Structure 1
Amino acid sequence: MKVYTKTGDQGKTSLLGGTRMLKSDLRIEAYGTVDELNSYLGLLRDQEVNVGLRSELIEVQNYLFVIGADLATDPSKTKVKKPPVTNVAVRELEVAIDRMDEELPPMKFFVLPGGHPSVSFGHVARTVCRRAERRVIALAQEEEVSEEVVIYLNRLSDYLFVLCRWMGLKLEIDEVPWVPR
């Protein structure tokens, strides 16, 4: 099977179900941003500090593919076979957040991103997650979008923030407080 099909050479792509649309469409932007987020999750998974979280991060990446498939499906094509978007994945994130948070000192200030490349990668992933959430919400204002997708992306950004703090703790990096002038 060839990687290139040439069907997108004119600026259009196909959704699951066959609907053709411009690559600049908000739906394409939404699942493209989820794809970008998934790549950053791969980068986080590859960080040595996260060796014990690799299976958890792979689960998150797998679920982002589920979300991508959901977003890449024309809502009017009801017979397209795709994995279901459920709230079980949200609960799994909440359990992981609570587990990591138990090890962390309470937050007493806003934290500036950075301190170590692994932590910085995590904050980039978090901000891409927030952008994906904004794109999905914008899409939901125009077309049908699963509520669970929005909830998952919101919770995932929380997970990524806590993961950044947790990585900093494990790497013995001091959190730098935001000090307004």
Structure 2
Amino acid sequence: MTYRLSTITTRTGDGGETGLADGSRLQKSDPQIHLLGEIDELNSVVGLILAELGEDIQRTRLLALQHELFELGADVAVPLRRKIGEAHLAALEQDVTAWNMALSPLREFILPGGCKAAAWAHLARTVCRRAERGVVMAFSDRPDLDQALRYLNRLSDWLFVLARTLNAAAAMPDVLWQPMLQVSDSE
């Protein structure tokens, strides 16, 4: 294996710019750089879910997901590079369908929570939604990143169902939203 990162501290970002894989440089405030950070943050939260799981059935799928997210970041960072595609979308949809069949029907909105791994999955879902918005903000003029947008949209659903699946596996009920009762003016 070739060593790709021989130096971690380069000081090249000290002036507020960062480099992309193609050698171009962008301001750290650029929406594309924000998006890359959001994908990285999402991958880190997936790592937190993994840290909570033993030899759980979802472990292998979550590890594969981390690699997919790294590929997605590369797709965003490198012009015309597209590794995330229809097969990845289909795999997410297949998981959601299979996991949903094993869950009780959802009759109420649920709040993030339950077991610790499920709570992390809910956090990952919210970070995923932010990354999805980041694709729209950074690349509204780039239809070639339509797959990234679709992937993140499916992934947020996947993370929601994963959270419910993890709660079910831990025999922990989902936290159901309780609508606030209206307080009358006379009280």
- Report the TM-score when normalising by structure 1: 0.90
Q: Equivalent of 2:70, from 65, 75, 96?
A: 65
5 Å matches for 1:127-146?
127-143=126-142, 145-146=144-145
Q: Equivalent of 2:49, from 44, 52, 64?
A: 44
In structure 1, the residue matched to 2:167 is: 168
Name the SS for the 2:44 alignment partner: helix
Q: What is the CA–CA distance in structure 1 between the aligned matches of 2:138 and 2:75, rounded to whole Å?
A: 13
Q: What is the CA–CA distance in structure 1 between the aligned matches of 2:123 and 2:8, rounded to whole Å?
A: 29
Distance 1:83 1:148, change over 3 A: closer
Distance 1:85 1:175, change over 3 A: closer
**Distance apart, 1:85 and its partner CA:** 2.5
Q: What is the CA–CA distance in structure 2 between the aligned matches of 1:70 and 1:9, rounded to whole Å?
A: 25
Q: What is the CA–CA distance in structure 1 between the aligned matches of 2:176 and 2:26, rounded to whole Å?
A: 45
Amino acid in structure 2 at the alignment position of 1:128: V
Q: What is the CA–CA distance in structure 2 between the aligned matches of 1:9 and 1:176, rounded to whole Å?
A: 45
Q: How big is each residue's C-alpha offset from its partner over 1:110-162, in whole Å with a ceiling of 9 and x where there is no partner?
A: 00111222111111111000001011111122445511100000000000000
Amino acid in structure 2 at the alignment position of 1:68: G
5 Å matches for 1:1-181?
1-48=6-53, 51-73=56-78, 75=79, 82=81, 84-143=83-142, 145-181=144-180
Distance 1:49 1:167, change over 3 A: farther
Q: CA RMSD in A?
A: 1.6
- Report the TM-score when normalising by structure 2: 0.88
Contact preservation (8 Å) 2:96, 2:158: yes
Name the SS for the 1:21 alignment partner: strand
Q: How big is each residue's C-alpha offset from its partner over 1:31-64, in whole Å with a ceiling of 9 and x where there is no partner?
A: 1100100011111122226622111111111111
Amino acid in structure 2 at the alignment position of 1:87: E
Q: What is the CA–CA distance in structure 1 between the aligned matches of 2:22 and 2:7, rounded to whole Å?
A: 21
Distance 1:139 1:10, change over 3 A: same
Contact preservation (8 Å) 2:122, 2:160: yes
Q: What is the CA–CA distance in structure 1 between the aligned matches of 2:152 and 2:140, rounded to whole Å?
A: 16
**Distance apart, 1:30 and its partner CA:** 0.6
Where do 5+ consecutive residues of structure 1 fail to align? none
Name the SS for the 1:13 alignment partner: strand
Q: What is the CA–CA distance in structure 1 between the aligned matches of 2:58 and 2:47, rounded to whole Å?
A: 12
Q: What is the CA–CA distance in structure 2 between the aligned matches of 1:163 and 1:85, rounded to whole Å?
A: 20
